[in-house]
Structure 1
Amino acid sequence: MSDRHPMTGNEMSGSEPGGLERHAYDVVVIGAGGAGLRAAIAAHDAGARTAIVCKSLLGKAHTVMAEGGIAAAMGNRWPEDNWEVHFRDTMRGGKMLNNWRMAQLHAQEAPERVMELEDWGALFDRTEDGLISQRDFGGHRYARLAHVGDRTGLEMIRTLQQRAVQLGIDVFMECTITDLLTGADQGSKKISGAFGYWRETGRFVVFEAPSVILATGGIGKAFKVTSNSWEYTGDGHALALRAGAALINMEFVQFHPTGMVWPPSVKGLLVTESVRGDGGILKNSEGKRFMFDYIPEFFKAETADNEAEADRWYEDKANNRRPPELLPRDEVARAINSEIKAGRGSPHGGIFLDIASRRSPEFIRRRLPSMYHQFKELADVDITAEPMEIGPTCHYVMGGVEVDADTELTGVTGLYAVGECSGGMHGSNRLGGNSLSDLLVFGRRAGESAAAYAAEVGDNRPPVDDAEVKAAQSAALAPFETEGGENPYTIHQELQQTMNDLVGIIRTADELSKAAEAVEGFKERVRNLSVEGHRQYNPGWHLAIDLRNMLLVSECIAKAALERTESRGGHTRDDFPMTDDGWGTKNIALTLNERGDGVELTQQPLPVMPDELKTFFESK
């Protein structure tokens, strides 16, 4: 049988009497953000028959919330900038826990990926000389973020989406993948496809493919206060674990320093770092610009230590000592958290971000149009005339699926991971702007690698195991089999509160142990979930399926954070406040246990950086 699906218009390669829909491809990309789209384009260009499967609508990916810019050492503002400096900034921002090879490739290839976007139609802001404009961001020595006002992520998605549609790549929208299929031979751990369902109808679908690329984003919806959109439920992380891959660095969760705190309906919504990059300063309730009190020893040589020096930097940058508001995000978030805890917070539990006293209304509306409208429409605040109330919000997870630096291949043959659901690139803390260039650089590499493997396999691809498919169906339908059981919304709310209270910015062994214990309790309760109604668009059922993933990644975060007895990057232990050199040489890897009902931890050494790259950190 071959026809067109009534929802998407995509060609259906076959269906079965029981309503199970089947499609066959060489490469299936799960996720349609910047990483997924760039991977799909690369796979298509390499000759693979490629499909994109996304949980939401095409163009609605969370990448649109990356507002500040794309980090790339193009040297358009500072000719002194180059990949070596970008590499050094990235490694130092990650507190040297990054996979050095990923950081190197990222720094070297980011400029070419930005130029490629421009070739495909991206409309960047320009310098006076007509080059792509680049702005300052926290942790970057030079202004290197290519930007489109404060809507860079939106322009990036628009450009990649238009390219994918132009190439004719098949897209399956509003389709959730619940399980990866690893072939009839369970011992081989070779990808044979993916199993999912249409969110509107509840109808099941199987994608047969020897190569699957995970590009599903992050885990933010496991936390109560987050900048993340509803799709970010740790799907790729959990899918990879259940398929046999490992996760690394899961203890490192980035709390963006600036999210909205008022009104409650928008609490956590991102306030771009561009506000600080364009001159915004942080003040407490006493009107003090407090960041000068929180400059770490590691960054003192590069950071202005008084207001006059910081103000001069914004005018001519002659001394190149950045304002403390542009320290890496983990440092700024901890400083804000300290001010709030000390009782110097704003009326709604945040602190103040002020650009109105620093820049003209015309400058603000031109450089930060989205922020101007966001605060005006959602909080009735005119940021050209008054400060914003902001506070830390769960924003990004540095941890993810362990991959090969050059190919993005996981520990499962045929499975690749890229973007926020992959680990290693950012170490213990991500610099702002590195996320978008990460998506482009490694999205392309993953797509090419997946296509090459599919071509190598040819017609000898692993077959889909019908028993696996039936097991996936049974697991998905389980909540309908229980009457009077647990409500998924109640468990989700309790999980979010637990993660917010016990696995937040500042952590202790006692709190982390309680969090891990609570997650175990949630896992027991999830076995008794009950969903009412039918499979046709049923949000409660969708959440029940998502909960399985959120609980798995929450367990990984809590256990890894308890294991790492130091403070580093996005992981701060109140009971171990210092950075421990011994921990600076190893990652924590997590895998699913043999029973499949929990995760196990192992400590493994970091890849050793070559001597020629170590010289970049000497006396600089």
Structure 2
Amino acid sequence: MTEVERHQYDVVVIGAGGAGLRAAIEARLRGKRVAVISKSLFGKAHTVMAEGGAAAAMGNVNDKDNWQVHFRDTMRGGKFLNNVRMAELHAKEAPERVWELEAWGALFDRTKDGKISQRNFGGHSYPRLAHVGDRTGLELIRTTQQKIVSLQQEDHAEFGDYEARIRVWAETTVTRLLKNGDRICGAFAYVRETGKFVVFEAPTVILATGGIGKAFKVTSNSWEYTGDGHALALLAGASLLNMEFIQFHPTGMVWPPSVKGILVTESVRGDGGVLTNSEGKRFMFDYIPDVFKEQYATTEEEADRWYADADNNRRPPELLPRDEVARAINSEVKAGRGSPQGGVFLDVSSRLPAEEIIKRLPSMHHQFKELADVDITAEPMQVGPTCHYVMGGVEVDADTGAALVPGLFAAGECSGGMHGSNRLGGNSLTDLLVFGKRAGTGAVDYLEALDARPEVPEAEIEAATAEALAPFSRPEGENPYTVHSELQTTMNELVGIIRTEKELAAALESLVKLRERVAGVGVVDAGPGGRGYHPGWHLALDLRNMLLVSECVARAALEREESRGGHTRDDHPGMSAEWRKINLVCKLTDDQQVTLKRQPIESMREDLLALFENSELKKYLTEEEVPS
């Protein structure tokens, strides 16, 4: 019998990024014992890659900004497919969460009168992103991490040597959620350093695992982003919402090949950077969609005036929502007007003096200098689209973060609904804070309403242990790295930024074959070190998650016969008001097959509809939905 260590907690949070840490803090402040499980080192969460800022309508730079404008911008960016309640809660509560972060010690950049500084970003009507240079995500993680440390110190002061009520399990990976009947009763994991198995007995689990980018070959995402939370939820009986919507960030590095896909923050364009093609043309003026033509400048002179007087001029087209910019770059490259390394040029050196670039964009200056030998204060960057974010995720209740499985909650990128078909830059960091807090509250409220804690059945532990050890029983099995490479190629080439029915059908056919191969991957015993730090074994287990999520993405993309936000169908280029009324929901059958159904979307309340002009609503909604 394989040895399994056991621990009891009230709340288990899987993921130590912004959403996970904020959820853990909230549960701990309510007096609960909390485990935070981090797949990587504590403090190294992918949240640090959110560089540009946290969107909150505080009105510090333009006092015309308010939650209603932020709500409008978010719905426009998501092409009206957003969960309306989530978009409303986010717009209303984001400022409070940013001020709370400041009270905990976050050191934001300042305006001349001492307020938190806010910058422009794509899709936002006013300067709205609270920022710390171009390292805002790092500051969020640093601050919430320190808050957890301070809570641990409080516990030690109160209880002496008694274990703190909040413990971080670094470099630990969850492979299964455990259930007693239909309820969550814990999680099964292994410690990466030793390979030791650990059972976390808890009646509530909060998923905050981030995205799915490592299923694609070109991505801004770190190695941890293998769709763990999405897959764990599916396997536990929860549903995934609108997985077809993948955001390809318009600006990732394209050269050298070793760094292809690494994020180039939208702050570069927010601070005045412009996109040009190989002919030197500022091409974004040619790609302004009809629905945005009233809000965006159509000439360079008009666009440049906006930076000096944002009240009276239309925004530059470089600040269109990310999906629009990514498609435009893709079109320029396909038309043969790309840069030498297959992207386009992003230039901030002709817009700002060198010292100002280094002050505002220190990370970008360092990144290009060290990785590409490019000085962005003197020459343009080469950039292109990179898989960055998934708008789809675990279907949850907007107010509590509760999934369909009792005891299961989700927040952040692995939850679905908030961003609709396309996320606005900067909304991610405040999404983490707003719904991380709400998931923490929801989990504690659920816990306190329970009559008794569900016990963990031994059969659940035995099955999870056997599943985790299975790759070692196939030492002659296929190399997991080979299978992963083919999965990434399939997703990048057939389920990428531009999609067709023929390619999506081919992708699904390939994924079915890959499922058989994933079931046969094998790893060899590592010898004296055992299972500790065994990368082949880790990948073999991650493949299950990436494959499940990839199939959900491909099936939903084939089903949705329209183009909206991060989902572009070349054979269905228009946006359909009827399709806007439909969510696509994926679940697993008892024999682990992905099923998909159409689910109607609730109508928007009249007071929220009143925030939009009827002429705009007619571009997105059906005739009967538009107020008379």
TM-score band w.r.t. shorter chain: over 0.9
User: Which residue pairs with 2:290 in the alignment?
Assistant: 297
Find out whether 1:154 has 2:151 as its counterpart. no
SS in structure 2 at match of 1:254: strand
Distance apart, 1:607 and its partner CA: 2.0
Distance apart, 1:136 and its partner CA: 0.3
Q: After superposition, give the CA deviation of every residue in 1:518-555 in whole Å (9 maximum; x if it has no partner).
A: 11111001111110123121000000000000000000
Distance apart, 1:467 and its partner CA: 0.5
Distance apart, 1:18 and its partner CA: 4.3
Distance apart, 1:314 and its partner CA: 1.3
Distance apart, 1:318 and its partner CA: 4.0
Find out whether 1:108 has 2:92 as its counterpart. yes
Maintained 8 Å contact 1:48/1:454: no
Q: After superposition, give the CA deviation of every residue in 1:312-358 in whole Å (9 maximum; x if it has no partner).
A: 11122242310000000000000000000000000000000000011
Maintained 8 Å contact 2:303/2:313: no
User: Which residue pairs with 2:597 in the alignment?
Assistant: 602
Distance apart, 1:454 and its partner CA: 1.5
In the TM superposition, what are the counterparts of 1:78-117 in structure 2 within 5 Å?
Answer: 78-117=62-101
Maintained 8 Å contact 1:46/1:452: no
Identify the match of residue 14 of structure 2 among 30, 37, 45.
30
Maintained 8 Å contact 2:249/2:387: yes
Distance apart, 1:211 and its partner CA: 0.5
User: Which residue pairs with 1:520 in the alignment?
Assistant: 512
Q: After superposition, give the CA deviation of every residue in 1:225-278 in whole Å (9 maximum; x if it has no partner).
A: 000000000000000000000000100000000000000110000000000000
Find out whether 1:42 has 2:38 as its counterpart. no
Q: After superposition, give the CA deviation of every residue in 1:428-458 in whole Å (9 maximum; x if it has no partner).
A: 0000000000000000000011112122226
User: Which residue pairs with 1:474 in the alignment?
Assistant: 466
User: Which residue pairs with 1:285 in the alignment?
Assistant: 278
Amino acid in structure 1 at the alignment position of 2:430: S
In the TM superposition, what are the counterparts of 1:119-158 in structure 2 within 5 Å?
Answer: 119-158=103-142
Distance 2:509 2:10 in 1: 42
Q: After superposition, give the CA deviation of every residue in 1:543-576 in whole Å (9 maximum; x if it has no partner).
A: 0000000000000000000000000000000000
Distance 1:555 1:608 in 2: 29
User: Which residue pairs with 2:482 in the alignment?
Assistant: 490
User: Which residue pairs with 2:577 in the alignment?
Assistant: 581
User: Which residue pairs with 1:218 in the alignment?
Assistant: 211
User: Which residue pairs with 1:543 in the alignment?
Assistant: 539
Identify the match of residue 332 of structure 2 among 325, 331, 339.
339
Distance apart, 1:165 and its partner CA: 1.3
User: Which residue pairs with 1:555 in the alignment?
Assistant: 551
SS in structure 2 at match of 1:74: coil
Distance 1:96 1:404 in 2: 18
User: Which residue pairs with 1:529 in the alignment?
Assistant: 521
User: Which residue pairs with 1:173 in the alignment?
Assistant: 170
Maintained 8 Å contact 2:305/2:313: no
Distance apart, 1:492 and its partner CA: 0.3
Distance 1:397 1:18 in 2: 37
SS in structure 2 at match of 1:549: helix
SS in structure 2 at match of 1:573: coil
Distance apart, 1:593 and its partner CA: 1.4
Q: After superposition, give the CA deviation of every residue in 1:483-538 in whole Å (9 maximum; x if it has no partner).
A: 32111000000100110000000000000011111111110011111101231210
Distance 1:484 1:131 in 2: 62
Distance 1:500 1:442 in 2: 30
Report % sequence identity. Answer: 70
Distance 2:313 2:546 in 1: 43
Maintained 8 Å contact 2:126/2:310: no
Distance 1:62 1:346 in 2: 29
Identify the match of residue 465 of structure 1 among 434, 450, 457.
457
In the TM superposition, what are the counterparts of 1:496-507 in structure 2 within 5 Å?
Answer: 496-507=488-499
Give runs of ≥4 in structure 1 deviating > 4 Å: none
Maintained 8 Å contact 1:47/1:451: no
Amino acid in structure 2 at the alignment position of 1:576: H
Amino acid in structure 2 at the alignment position of 1:315: A
Distance 1:324 1:478 in 2: 52
Find out whether 1:232 has 2:229 as its counterpart. no
Distance 2:503 2:589 in 1: 24
Maintained 8 Å contact 2:81/2:581: yes
User: Which residue pairs with 2:376 in the alignment?
Assistant: 383
SS in structure 2 at match of 1:423: coil
Q: After superposition, give the CA deviation of every residue in 1:277-302 in whole Å (9 maximum; x if it has no partner).
A: 00000000000000000000011001
User: Which residue pairs with 1:14 in the alignment?
Assistant: none
Q: After superposition, give the CA deviation of every residue in 1:464-494 in whole Å (9 maximum; x if it has no partner).
A: 0110111111111111001321110000001
Q: Which moved more, 1:528-537 or 1:468-477?
A: 528-537
SS in structure 2 at match of 1:506: coil
Maintained 8 Å contact 1:487/1:531: yes
Distance 2:589 2:247 in 1: 27
Maintained 8 Å contact 2:17/2:45: yes
In the TM superposition, what are the counterparts of 1:49-448 in structure 2 within 5 Å?
Answer: 49-168=33-152, 169-183=166-180, 185=181, 189-448=182-441
Q: Which moved more, 1:479-488 or 1:421-430?
A: 479-488
Distance 2:201 2:225 in 1: 25
Indicate the RMSD between aligned Cα atoms, in angstroms.
0.9
SS in structure 2 at match of 1:192: strand
Identify the match of residue 618 of structure 1 among 599, 613, 625.
613
Distance 2:461 2:270 in 1: 50
SS in structure 2 at match of 1:191: strand
Distance 2:539 2:257 in 1: 22
User: Which residue pairs with 1:3 in the alignment?
Assistant: none
Aligned pair count reads 598
Instruction: Structure 2: state its 5+ residue gaps.
Output: 153-165, 617-628
Amino acid in structure 1 at the alignment position of 2:374: V
Amino acid in structure 2 at the alignment position of 1:177: V
What's the TM-score once normalised by structure 1's chain length? 0.96
Distance apart, 1:217 and its partner CA: 0.2
Distance 2:40 2:73 in 1: 34
Distance apart, 1:19 and its partner CA: 2.2
Maintained 8 Å contact 1:48/1:455: no
Amino acid in structure 1 at the alignment position of 2:176: D
What's the TM-score once normalised by structure 2's chain length? 0.94
